Amino acid sequence: MTLDALYAEFGASYSKARNFIKQNSPREARECVKRCMLILQEIYSARTGIKERAETFAHFCDMKRASEVLYENGVTSEVKAIFKICEAKNVSVASTNETVGTTKIGEIIGASQSQDWCADIFEKYKNSVAKIKAVSSGMSSNGTGFVISAKGLLLTNDHVVRDEKNNTFYSKITMTLNSCKTRVPLEVIDSDKKNDVALCMFDVSKSGEVCAIPRIANYSTLKQGSRIVVIGNAFSMGIAPIEGIVRHVHSKEGNLVYTAQSNPGDSGGPVLNTAGYCVGINKSIVVSVTQGSNTLSAQGMTNATPMDKIDELITLWCSKKNISL
């Protein structure tokens, strides 16, 4: 078998192992891991360079350790760590990809991990995202929100919960978490119309256990070109992800701008980086750009309120309302 064929087979076995680990299927995962070890042995024999052999051996040791743990204890946090599967809130899939090396095997492993990052983040936080419905005097609104505190605090857009015709909040606002089919009342604690952010509260005893989506600690670390995923409820079709990249961390208007196109219903959804931290709130399906006396609509871009501005508002509201996250 040629080296290219061995690399291809290794990539296929590695990807299968990752999927079985995610499915909590240790026996099937271990069979794929054992196959990876056999292929790595053949690659080691076929390569003569010291660097390539050293890294091949290092990957073989990783696979051997994973096989032993799978046999003895099943799918554990250690196994997930070996396969760079995001589990803990402080683990970044993107950053761990950088440690796999620059040889062909490292590229294969990195590509396998990279392909799954969006699905991993969505799977982890989809049950913390809510479908919001607001009605008042024949008017209605549909949007998205997301939990930021297990105490029952949720963020969304101001325009999702505000009746623009009467310039007041909708008289009846409810939400449904992806993990719970029960419709739960939402109370608006405070909002900022200019930045299009609203902080809401719900009864956790009615919604079931909730997990908060963490917010990025330092927004200035977000870079142009960084990958993001938006989770929303487009056209009320259900909670789903869409991937994009950051175009502008701060536009002239102060917005976060990215390429993940949004649709009606996505408003209020979280914008997450590859580590699973929220970097903004999705708010506009059309980005408007002012050039001289003309206002143009940008194609393929979406606006969000950036997390640095949101954190300022949360701090202000919590202090004013005497509440804590």
Q: What is the mean pLDDT of each run of 10 residues along the chain (325 residues)?
A: 88 91 94 96 89 90 96 94 68 38 77 77 91 89 94 95 90 88 91 95 85 92 92 91 93 89 90 91 72 64 92 94 88
Please state, in angstroms and rounded to a whole number, the distance separating the CA atoms of residues 36 and 64. 9
What angle is formed at CA 135 by the lines to CA 129 and CA 137, rounded to 5 degrees? 170
Matching residue, tokens 């954190």: 311
Report pLDDT digits (tens) over 262-299.
Answer: 888 999 999 999 888 999 999 876 665 666 777 666 55
pLDDT (0 to 100) of residue 104: 83
Instruction: Report the CATH number that the domain containing residue 238 is assigned in CATH.
Output: 2.40.10.10
The domain boundary, picked from 63, 83, 115, lies at 115
Do the domain assignments include residue 106?
yes
Matching residue, tokens 């099937």: 28
Residues 167 and 205 in one domain: yes
Please state, in angstroms and rounded to a whole number, the distance separating the CA atoms of residues 162 and 116. 37
Q: What mean pLDDT, rounded, does the chain reach?
A: 87
Do the domain assignments include residue 284?
yes
Do the domain assignments include residue 122?
no
Annotate 147-156 with b (16+ C-beta within 10 A) or e (fewer): bbbeebbbbb
Residues 245 and 284 in one domain: yes
The domain boundary, picked from 115, 149, 170, lies at 115
Please state, in angstroms and rounded to a whole number, the distance separating the CA atoms of residues 139 and 165. 9
Residues 187 and 146 in one domain: yes
The domain boundary, picked from 115, 145, 163, lies at 115
Report pLDDT digits (tens) over 244-262.
Answer: 999 999 988 899 999 988 8
Report pLDDT digits (tens) over 45-55.
Answer: 998 888 888 98
pTM exceeding the 0.85 threshold for the entire prediction: no
Q: What is the extent of the structural domain holding 187? A: 128-212
Residues 263 and 308 in one domain: yes
pLDDT (0 to 100) of residue 296: 60
Do the domain assignments include residue 138?
yes
